[in-house]
Every structure is written in structure tokens, then in C-alpha cells.
Structure 1
Amino acid sequence: MAKRFNNLDAALKYLRPTSSGEDGVVPDAPAGTPLKKYQDWKAGKVDIDYPRSASSNPGKFEKIGIKPFALPAASTVEYVTTISARAQGQYALFGLGTAALGIEAPDSDDIVAVGYKPAKASCRNITGTTATSVTSKLTGIPYKTKADTAYIFPFGRITANATYSEQKAAILALVTAAAGTKSVSFIPEKF
């Protein structure tokens, strides 16, 4: 689960009496609290829906080829994965390109591996200047956010950056240098 929920998971853990042990039943959090809302969601008692605006729908997915980080640096083997048509046209917004991300056109000899998930860069372009208050559907706690658009770009190994950490650092440098207010976070490869 995401790091942002660590404090809520810890709070639920500390509700459990010490006499019940680690496998003991966690009692209900106090009614009306953000912890109770989170506990209900985590237990599957509440279904939270986050509808997408039409402009954020991924659209069609395009096949691409990338070199996984799990293979040796000298390997030229590429794996087939996908990128959304919506994200595909937005590389330049973040100072990126297919070469920087290690994206190639798929070849007939590229491997289609079941369960393989490429490393991904989740890029955010903050377009708002004033933060607006939004209430979390998960906890009911208000937080501030600015208008933005976000895109997810798969990336792979390139000759200049043969390791995941090198490629991550290179992408971070490019996104940081791009005009405007940008941010990037990374999702590691699952092989």
C-alpha cells in the first residue's frame, strides 16, 4: 500500500490490545473519525469511486519495445509493453523523448512476457497558481491541491544509463529542467 497510508495503518495496529497478539482482531475505530472511514474502506465496506474526466482517459494503447533493467547491460533483448496514446504525445512537455526513455518501435522478435511490468515515470505538470481545498474521499480530511495534468511514461535501459538508478536520475534531471512547475515519481520494474 502507498506510503501515505502508513500512519493510518499504524494507527489501526495500535488500536489492537497488546494481550491479543499480532494476529488479534483490531477493534473498530471511533465512529465519525478519519481513521474509521479508512478502516471501513480497507475492510471493503465502502466503495470509493474516482471518476475520470474525459480529458484524462488514456485512449488507445500503443505497443512499444523497451530493454528491461533486469537483463544484463550488454543484452539487446527488448520486451513489448504499451503506452497510452494520451501520454505518447506529451514527452516534450517534460523535456523527455523516446530516446531518453529508451522507447523503441516494437520489432517482430521482441519478447511478450506475461506479468512483466516496465519501470514507469509518473510526471505531473502543475498548471494552477492557487491551491484549492479538496476533501479526501478516503478519510474526510481536507487537503490543498493545484490544477494539474499527469502522464505515465514507461521507460527502459539505454546505453548511457544501464541501471535503473542511472536512468531514474537522468529522467529526473530532464523533468526538473523542463519549463514550468513539474514533478516526477517512479514506479520500479516488475519482472
Structure 2
Amino acid sequence: MNALTTRRTALKLGLASAAGLAVSGLLRAQTSAPVPGVIPPQLIRLATPLPANEVHVFPDAYRLFWSLPDGQAWIYAIRVGRDGLYEPGEYYVGAKKEWPSWTPTPGMIEREPEKYEKYADGGMPGGPGNPLGARALYLFTPERGDTFLRIHGTDDPASIGRAVSNGCAGLINDQITQLYNQVPMDARVVLHPKRLD
């Protein structure tokens, strides 16, 4: 266990099947802060191990796991997509970018033209204030290619622990930088279904 661990807290997540996947059991995390919210990334031992070297997003708990061998995982606090925009399923990391540029999707422009239409043609260059933050993992599927879903950074810590994005999972910038360095290209990513109302 890592040195940040000061007390034992059971984090119980009901795992469900998504895109033909079935994973069940309880995950126990060593944490030093209540959930949800921003906590430092922590190395935990899983009561039910996940396959190693995969990203698993549990939207109801606002947590992302980067699984390791021997039943361990790094756990990160995240924000997730708003209702109707979160897409559970199985993906892979098809691209990785540092300080990525950002262009809103056609769906984003249609939903909120007053907010996004000004970026439709040229987008926004990478850097502080960019919605994708310091790093981004681009989620692909074999059938669709780039899904326009991202695991990315944010400079808005108040959004962590909330369903506020346009479908993507977000971590604060220093934590996405750590995750980015851990996760290789082609890594499997599972966005588990939402279970709570």
C-alpha cells in the first residue's frame, strides 16, 4: 500500500455488464478522504481483481481504476458525462496527446450553440483553459474508430465527483498527467454502466 494510506475504507461498487462484459464483485480501496471528490491517486488492493493493465471507469462512484498485476490498481477521482451522454462499453486507447487542441463535436454544437459554435471551425489550441486539459487519452472502437470520447484533464477541481461533461471522463490536470504516463497505446478501457438513478 502507498504511504498516503491512513485508514481503511470499504468502497463498494456494484459491477455490471457492458458491451458483453461481465465483471462482478466488491472493490475495497484504501483511502484517506471521503468519496466523491478530489483525492490523491492511491494504490489499492482489489477484493475482486480486474485484468491487469486496463482502465475501468465506475461512473456511480466517480472513480477510475488503472489495474495492475497481483490484484492492485491505481484509483483516481473523476467527473463523468451527464445523463444521456455517458456511453458505457468497451474501448481502446487509439491516440494520446499532450496539451491537445479541442474542437466541439457536432452534437455539442447542436445542444449548446451559444457556447460551442464559435469553436466549430478552428477549435481551441492546447494549453491552460482548454477543455481537454493537460493530457488526453482518445477512446476508439474497432467499428467506429475515434468515438470522440476522451479521458482527459481539467483545471476545474469543483467538477470532480459530478456528472457534468459531454460524455467524457475527466481528472484534474496533475492526475491525468500521471495516468497518461501509466497507460500505453491500445490499452483496453471499460466504461461501466451507470447503476444509480
Superposition TM-score, scaled by structure 1 size:
0.24
In terms of fraction of residues, the more helix-rich structure is: 1
In terms of fraction of residues, the more strand-rich structure is: 2
Q: Which has the larger radius of gyration?
A: 1
